[in-house]
Structure 1
Amino acid sequence: MKFSFRQLEVFLAAAHFQNITRAADSLAMSQSAASSALKELESQFDIQLFDRVGKRLQLNELGRLYRPKVEALLAQAGELEQAFSKHTEVGALKVGATLTIGNYLAVGVMAQYMNTPTHPKVALEVANTRTIAQRVKDFELDIGLIEGELQSSELEVIPWRGDELVVFCSPDHPFAQKGRLSDADLRSATWVMREQGSGTRQTFERGMHGLLPDLDILLELEHTEAIKRAVEANLGIGCLSRVCLADAFRRGSLVPLKVPEERQFDRTFYFILHKQKYRSAGIDRWIDLCEQLQDPPLPEERGLLYDRTSS
């Protein structure tokens, strides 16, 4: 074999950091050793994988072509090494999740995944859909869990579970005593919302078609807990995933509201994987645990939120 795994590790680190010094530091190598390994890899096959601009290394077309193949090969080698050394097929995992999933679902799955005799580590990154998708594309995350719809030729998008958004207010808000809200009520309300570009906002805007130009949006916040606190303080009404709101509804600090029947806020959570990413036993185990996850119960369940039989 003309190349070594170390050379491939240097190639991937250089692709990630775009700098040979930082790549060497990440691999606990000297700068000269890392530079030599990369030059040897290229010279052995008479290829160039990077465009060099000063100290910056930018993957060229050939480098971008080979990067996923190298990622897959090293992932398989890493899994084999773990199996040899730890006698287990489930190893460390890098997971990305959007805010709702990361804050309310993924932590429980992570605890189950790590609760094995070998205690494999899980690194969890919480960000918006766009960021998680890019990190999976760049092979910086093994798997992503997202709540927004996504189109990408590089990613495999796998439906995971259903979800729905719920409109809610504080117990002291005038809407708390109403039966079902009308479109006129929705127009008259002051709203506290997730930011543009989030999966939650995407679903909300789809469900509120025809009303969006008339809505009074007071605040746009990136974090669900901040939105819940603002609504509890009676700054307006909100709309978030039922996953985020179950505890607050049980405590009575927030109240679910019925919306017009045509206002549908159903959506799907997804797994995303790079199409050329090696699907390890750890990834399969993570997906299995996610699929076993149960919905958090709501008071009086769906009848309290979306009474489809009433007018």
Structure 2
Amino acid sequence: MRYSLRQLEVFLAIANYENLTRAANDLAMSQSAASSSLKDFESQFDIQLFDRVGKRLKLNEQGRQIRPRAEALLAQARDFEQALTRHADAGPLNIGATLSIGNYLAVGLMAEYMKQHPEAAVQLEVANTARIAEQVLNYQLDTGLIEGELNHPELDVMSWRDDTLAIFCHPEHPLAVQQQRGDNIRDQDLLAASWILREPGSGTRQAFDRTMHGLLPELNISLELQHTEAIKRAVEAQLGVGCLSLITLQDAFKRGSLVQIDVPARDFSRTLYLIVHKQKYRSAGLNAWLQLCRDYP
């Protein structure tokens, strides 16, 4: 065999970091050793895998073509090593989740996975849909749990579970008072409100924008925040009206610090998704995680 697994590790680390020094540090080797490994790998097959852009090493077309195969080979090698050394059916996993899922669903999933596979380490990255998708595409995450809709040729996007958005406000907000009187909330009432929303690029914002079709240009969006808890606190402080996943609001509704506003004319249902790179090697651990997600109540 004319290449080694170490050469694949070096190639993939440089592809990930786009920097030789950071890749070498990640692999606990010297910069010169990493550079020699890449040089030997390229010279053995008379190819160039990177273009130099300043101090960065950017994958060229040849590098992009072989990267998925290198990722799969290395993942299979690690899976094989796991079976030999630990006699376990599941190895470590890097999971990504959007904020609502990460804070309210993923932790329970992780606890159940680690209960079933006590020797398997699981790491969780929480970010918005765009960021999670980028990391799955870049092989930095094994899989993602997302709220936003995606259509990417390199991603396997699987429907996971149903979810519902909810409009909410302080109990003394005019919308809450109007609802208590028994009056329906209409589009003109929504246009009169000040809105506190998730940032563009988040799955919650994407679903909200779709639900509010026809009203978006006229909506008064006073704040855009990256965290659900910050939005809830701002609405509790009577700074405006919010819209988040129902799973993030149930405790506040029970306490009475926030009130759900019903808007029968608009559909707030949506789907949550599992995403995996189409060329990602599905190890025993990854398959076990995906099955757990499908079975989770």
Q: TM-score, normalised by structure 2?
A: 0.94
Does residue 1:292 correspond to 2:295, yes or no? yes
Partner deviation per Cα, 1:124-159 (whole Å, 9 max, x = no partner)? 111111111111111111001111111111111111
Partner of 2:109: 109
Give the count of matched residue pairs: 293
SS in 2 for 1:229: helix
8 A Cα contact 1:86 1:118, kept in partner = no
Distance 1:206 1:45, change over 3 A: same
Cα deviation, residue 224, structure 1:
0.7
| Aligned equivalent of 2:80 | 80
Amino acid of the structure 2 residue aligned with 1:264: D
For structure 1, the 5+ residue unaligned runs are: 295-311
Is 1:23 matched with 2:23?
Answer: yes
Q: Distance in 2 between matches of 1:116 and 1:160?
A: 21
Deviation at 1:270, TM superposition (A): 0.6
The one-letter amino acid paired with 2:121 is: K
Helix, strand or coil: the match of 1:108? helix
Which letter does structure 1 place at the counterpart of 2:74? L
User: Which residue number corresponds to residue 56 of structure 2?
Assistant: 56
SS in 2 for 1:21: helix
Distance 1:154 1:117, change over 3 A: closer
Q: 2:283 aligns with which of 280, 283, 307?
A: 280
Gap change, CA 1:30 and 1:171, over 3 Å in 2: same
Q: Does 2:37 align with 1:37?
A: yes
CA RMSD of aligned residues (A): 1.5
Return closer, same or farther for 1:68/1:117 CA change in 2, 3 Å cut-off: closer
Q: 2-side partners of 1:228 and 1:125: how far apart?
A: 22
TM-superposed CA distance for 1:185, in Å, is: 1.5
Deviates more, 1:43-52 or 1:221-230: 43-52
Q: Paired residue for 2:229? A: 225
Residues 80 and 191 (structure 1 numbering): CA distance in 2 closer, same or farther, change over 3 Å? same
Classify the secondary structure of the residue corresponding to 1:140. coil
Contact 1:148 1:199 (C-alpha < 8 Å) held by counterparts? yes
Offset at residue 24 of structure 1 (A)? 1.6
Given the two structures, how large is their TM-score scaled by the length of structure 1? 0.90
Moved more, 54-63 or 125-134: 54-63
Q: Which residue of 2 aligns with 1:234?
A: 238
Q: Deviations over 1:238-286 (max 9, x none)?
A: 1110111111112211111110x33111111111111110011211221
Distance of 2:201 and 2:38 partners within structure 1: 39
Task: List per-residue Cα deviations over 1:183-227 (Å, max 9, x = no partner).
Answer: 222122222111222211111121112222232222111111111
Displacement after TM superposition at 1:85 (Å): 0.9
Of 187, 194, 197, which residue of structure 2 is paired with 1:193? 197
Deviation, 1:55, is 4.4
Superposed CA offset, 1:66-113 (max 9, x none):
011000110011011111111112111011111111111111111111
Structure 2 counterpart SS, 1:80: helix
C-alpha distance in 1 between matches for 2:60 and 2:163: 41
Larger displacement relative to structure 2 (31-40 or 82-91):
31-40
1:264 to 249, 262, 267: 267
Could you say which residue in structure 1 is the equivalent of 2:157? 157
SS in structure 2 at match of 1:115: helix
Query: SS of the residue aligned with 2:249?
Result: helix
Q: Which residue of 2 aligns with 1:304?
A: none
Check conservation: 2:95, 2:141, Cα contact below 8 A. yes
Q: Is 1:122 aligned to residue 126 of structure 2?
A: no
Counterpart Cα distance in 2 of 1:291 and 1:36: 45
